[in-house]
Homo-oligomer: A and B are copies of this chain.
């Protein structure tokens, strides 16, 4: 399982992913699920992945191969695409093609594999945008009404986002919100695990503003998690029924 969350705010975007990958409960590994591509000042693209590792790794590998292809065009490379909408289309088509290929291989075993992505970023002179890409390659987009997108194990961490995230939330509070959302998920689903990858991209910067790996045992993360537990318990005690 996986939990990835992205917030699209007035001041920029904040993305957070876990790194746990498992094939059964007895085969657990750490794999990066957040991939950053930038041409600083010109474009910045973040991709987060959830689902079958064979699908997500192959999809990211094909996106990279297309960037390096000497015959790459704005229709094939996300580093040349002229808008974030085009980036989402390229990523969606790549994901859908990989999924079809792998599904064909798995059909003999009556199995199937699937994956989803969050694709977000900004191309200079374009809007900052964030998309959730479905396994079939179609996508939806974060808006002012719903300024966040989640993939993977999204339920445990949603109540906090619903309550505190607004488009005008500042980027410090936004980091706190995604970390607490992840904290609730980590507590409830063993297949979501540390370390975490955090990324902040300011609007119109077209570059990664902050990139941080939060390791298991990170003192700041633990302090925030404990403060939140205490705040919940105190809040609970103060309510009268």
A176–B231 CB distance below 8 A: no
- Measured CB to CB, the closest approach of chain B to A235, in angstroms, equals 3
> Contacts A175-B241, A176-B239, A224-B239; is A232 near B164 (CB within 8 Å)?
yes
Copies, count: 2
Question: Interface majority SS on A: helix, strand, loop or mixed?
Answer: helix
Residue of B nearest to A157 (CB): B159
Cα A156 to Cα B163 in complex, Å, equals 13
Q: Is A158 an interface residue (CB 8 A)?
A: yes
Cα A156 to Cα B188 in complex, Å, equals 10
B233–A220 CB distance below 8 A: no
Cα A224 to Cα B238 in complex, Å, equals 11
B156–A236 CB distance below 8 A: no
Cα A91 to Cα B73 in complex, Å, equals 65
Q: Is A8 an interface residue (CB 8 A)?
A: no
A233–B164 CB distance below 8 A: yes
**Residue in B158, B187, B231 whose beta carbon sits within 8 Å of that of A236 in the complex:** B231
**Residue in B179, B233, B234 whose beta carbon sits within 8 Å of that of A241 in the complex:** B179
Q: Is A227 an interface residue (CB 8 A)?
A: yes
Interface size class of A (residues with CB under 8 A): 20 to 34
> Contacts A158-B188, A159-B184; is A220 near B239 (CB within 8 Å)?
no
Residue of B nearest to A189 (CB): B155
- Measured CB to CB, the closest approach of chain B to A223, in angstroms, equals 9
Q: Is A112 an interface residue (CB 8 A)?
A: no
Q: Is A162 an interface residue (CB 8 A)?
A: yes
Query: Which positions in A face B, CB cutoff 8 Å?
Result: 155-156, 158-160, 162-164, 172-173, 175-177, 179-180, 184, 187-188, 220, 224, 227-229, 231-236, 238-241
Not counting A173-B236, A231-B238, a sample of 13 additional A-B residue pairs whose C-beta atoms are within 8 angstroms of each other reads A155-B155, A159-B188, A160-B232, A162-B188, A164-B236, A176-B239, A177-B236, A180-B236, A227-B238, A227-B240, A228-B239, A231-B239, A234-B235
